Amino acid sequence: MIMICFVNTTVLVLKGCHIQLFSLDLPDASIDVVIACQCFHWFVNSAALEEIHRVLKTDGYFGIFWAITDFSVPWTNRLWEFLAPLYKEKSIVYPFDEKWKDVFSSTQRRLFNDLEGNLDYSLNFPIKDFDDAHQFFASLSVIASGNESTKKSFRELFDEVIREEFENKGIAVEQIPFKIYLYWCNKKN
Ligand SMILES: *[C@@H]1O[C@H](CO)[C@@H](O)[C@H](O)[C@H]1NC(C)=O
């Protein structure tokens, strides 16, 4: 995961902050913008919000960014049906289940003004071939950290989806559709 903090024009990139004891090694009110890139689902909790609030300057911004496979497309949706129970089992928050937003209202004091969002952007991630696509999905944490039987079952499902949705129809898989989730809010003082 990556946290990006802006101090004037200086960009500090914090990689792999400790998740349980979420702490940013930065002074109080020292940062203009904090952006959680592809990582907020690992620390959707009040302690993290308090810490981000602490390091932000007056009116500083907290941004949240995710680029996630668009699972509304028929072939990716079939993969999602396999992945969803694994996310649920590991209690991993995913951005299109908007429950993660509750952390902003369940935190004892209001730390941020209302969250704004933009879901208008999407992109297609180019892939070389089926193996490349499989490698991408197999690198998702719920598969990569899963046991051998999960990895094997996923591979079987993936091959079946590719066969039915692409090969049998004579279609090449050239890209994985992604949806961009952008949110931001500013510090409430
Ligand atoms: C492998 O992981 C899956 C998903 O977490 C679980 O349901 C299954 O029981 C595990 N299988 C083995 C053999 O441990």
Q: Which of 88, 89, 141, 147 to mutate to test the pocket of ligand 1 (most atoms within 8 A of CB)?
A: 147
Which residue, among 170, 161, 175, has the nearest Cα to 74 in the 3D structure? 161
The average pLDDT across 34-46 equals 88
Long-range contacts, stretch 90-96, CB < 8 angstroms, 24+ apart: 90/141, 90/142, 92/41, 92/141, 92/142, 93/40, 93/41, 93/44, 94/41, 94/68, 95/40, 95/41, 95/66, 95/68, 95/181, 96/68, 96/71, 96/179, 96/181
Look at ligand 1, atom 1, and give the residue with the nearest C-alpha. 147
Q: Whose CA is nearest to atom 14 of ligand 1?
A: 147
How many Å lie between the centroid of ligand 1 and the Cα of residue 150? 6
Residue range 81-102: mean pLDDT, rounded: 90
Q: Which residues line ligand 1 (CB under 6 A)?
A: 89, 146-147, 149-150
| Angle CA 53–58–64, to nearest 5 | 45
Tell me the three state secondary structure of residue 65: strand
Ligand 1: residue of 88, 150, 151 to mutate (most ligand atoms within 8 A of CB) is: 150
The answer for residues whose C-beta is within 8 angstroms of residue 172's C-beta and 6 or more apart is 166
Mean of per-residue pLDDT scores for the chain: 89
DSSP codes joined into one string, 122-170: EEEEE-SSHHHHHHHHHTSHHHHTS-HHHHHHHHHHHHHHHHHHTGGGT
Q: What distance in Å separates the CA atoms of residue 149 and residue 168, rounded to the nearest whole number?
A: 27
The answer to whether residue 157 scores a pLDDT higher than 50 is: yes
Residue of the CA atom closest to atom 7 of ligand 1: 150
What pLDDT sits at residue 43? 85
Which ligand 1 atom is the nearest neighbour of the CA of 146? 2
Residue 134 in this model has a pLDDT that exceeds 80: yes
Q: Is the pLDDT of residue 141 over 70?
A: yes
